[in-house]
Amino acid sequence: IFKNLAVGIVPLDEDYNTWLVGQYRYVLNDYSWEIPEGGCPLDAEPLLAAQRELQEETGITAQKWTKLLDMHISNSVTDEFGQVFIAQTLSFGIAMPEDTEDLQVKKISFQQAFDAVMSNEITDSLSIAAIMKTMWWIEKGWI
């Protein structure tokens, strides 16, 4: 039973660029590119946790936040639940990751992020769901 909620963020600028975070994932023994992600206690406010994670990992803050999705991360083996937000109207500062995090951050077009999902370069489930749904919203003209 998970004691935390997973939170993810799709930062999106006016030109449809986004930012991915890369880090070594010990459990997978592999390097992983993902949307900015983190967690919070189940009784905490997910949006506040998402805002904190985005700033810590990328240095980005946003004026506009939209809830994108809720998801069960892997419901056949865990009860972990996740929420993802789209962050827009961005401002840029200095990233302040936790001491245990060795992160790389890269800015890419959203199309490149989508292509990375489709080519299996991105394999993180929260990132895949977030990128796919964001692309659908973009195609519908909702963002």
Q: Total domain count for the chain?
A: 1
Q: What is the pLDDT of residues 82-110, one digit of tens each?
A: 999 999 999 999 988 776 768 899 999 99
Question: Is 94 or 75 the better-scoring residue by pLDDT?
Answer: 94
Give 99's contacts (C-beta < 8 A, 6+ positions apart).
Answer: none
pLDDT of residue 78: 75
pLDDT of residue 3: 80
Can you give the CATH number for the domain in which 38 is found? Answer: 3.90.79.10
pLDDT of residue 123: 96
Residues paired with 141 in a beta bridge: none
90 touches 60 (CB < 8 A): yes
Q: What is the pLDDT of residues 114-130, one digit of tens each?
A: 999 999 999 999 999 99
HSE (CB half, 13 Å, CA atoms) of 110? Answer: 20
The DSSP bridge pattern shows strands 104-109 and 81-92 to be unpaired
Q: Locate 132 and state its tokens.
A: 């796919």
Give the number of other Cβ atoms within 10 Å of residue 129's Cβ. 20
pLDDT at 75 over 80: no
Q: What is the span of the domain harbouring residue 74?
A: 4-140
Q: Locate 37 and state its tokens.
A: 């992600």
Q: Locate 36 and state its tokens.
A: 């900015």
Q: What is the pLDDT of residues 14-67, one digit of tens each?
A: 999 999 999 999 888 899 999 999 988 888 999 999 999 999 999 999 999 999
